Amino acid sequence: MLITLCHIQRIQEKKKVAAYETGKTSLRKVAKQFMVDPKTVERLVNQQREMGNLEPKKIGSRKPSQLEAHKELVIAILVAYPDWTLAQYCEEIDEKTGVYVTTGAMCRYLKKQKLTLKKTYRSEKALSAECQQEKFDYWQEAKEIKPEDLICINEAEIWEGMERSIARSLEGRRAFSRPESYKGQSSYCDWCNFR
């Protein structure tokens, strides 16, 4: 049988309670004998009387999250706005329900519900070996072009509906930027560089 530190601690606690319950000594003397605080011996004796054992009590609060009552609303907001920050989720919940939660509480609740952060919106294909090889081949070809043969035409598109590079979504689902049909508005800027 493997004896761990927890087993040794339980044995010591039982000895402390047994020493007191023999009735020949006081809490202070037992505490002094085992070199612990008298309150520790008192706590152990009371626990033995009330619960009938010296098993450790469960750690942590049993109080459920304030967001548990509004689970459907939280999920609906998350699905509608997957790229929001925790602070934005907290503000929206506060506005709609009057329940104020901190960003830490929101983060813990989302983790508990497995509504975790997804890294990016890009597809798995972009990370495939084939796609990476195509990118590498393109840049190898571009390096061979002589500078005097280059005419640079720059075109930039600015999306006014720009999203963050990370988002949240339900477990087992990919993150999408807003509804898939949402395109935002874009503006084009064109210019040419000549020698």
* pLDDT per residue of the chain (195 residues) written in tens, 0 to 9: 555 666 677 777 777 777 777 777 888 888 888 788 888 888 888 888 888 887 777 777 677 888 889 999 998 998 888 778 888 899 999 999 999 999 899 988 988 888 776 655 555 666 678 888 888 898 888 888 887 777 665 555 555 444 555 667 667 666 655 554 444 455 555 544 444
| pLDDT score for 142 | 81
| pLDDT score for 123 | 57
| pLDDT score for 70 | 92
- State the SS3 of 57-80: CCCCCCCCCHHHHHHHHHHHHHHH
| pLDDT score for 167 | 67
Contacts for 93-100 with beta carbons within 8 Å, 24 or more apart? 93/67, 97/70, 97/73, 99/66, 99/67, 99/69, 99/70
| pLDDT score for 14 | 77
Check if the beta carbon of residue 160 is closer than 8 Å to that of residue 182.
no
| pLDDT score for 61 | 66
Q: Tokens 């720059």 sit at which residue?
A: 154
| pLDDT score for 162 | 45
Residue 156, beta-bridge partner list: 189
C-alpha torsion sign, points 157, 158, 161, 162 = positive
The 8-class DSSP code of residue 144 comes to T
Amino acid at 133: Q
| pLDDT score for 183 | 47
Contacts for 164-167 with beta carbons within 8 Å, 24 or more apart? 164/83, 165/119, 165/120, 165/121, 166/83, 166/117, 166/118, 166/119, 166/120, 167/82, 167/83, 167/117, 167/118, 167/121
Calculate the alpha carbon distances from 24 to 18, 29, 34 in Å. 11, 10, 16
| pLDDT score for 100 | 92
| pLDDT score for 18 | 77
| pLDDT score for 163 | 52
Residue 153, beta-bridge partner list: 192
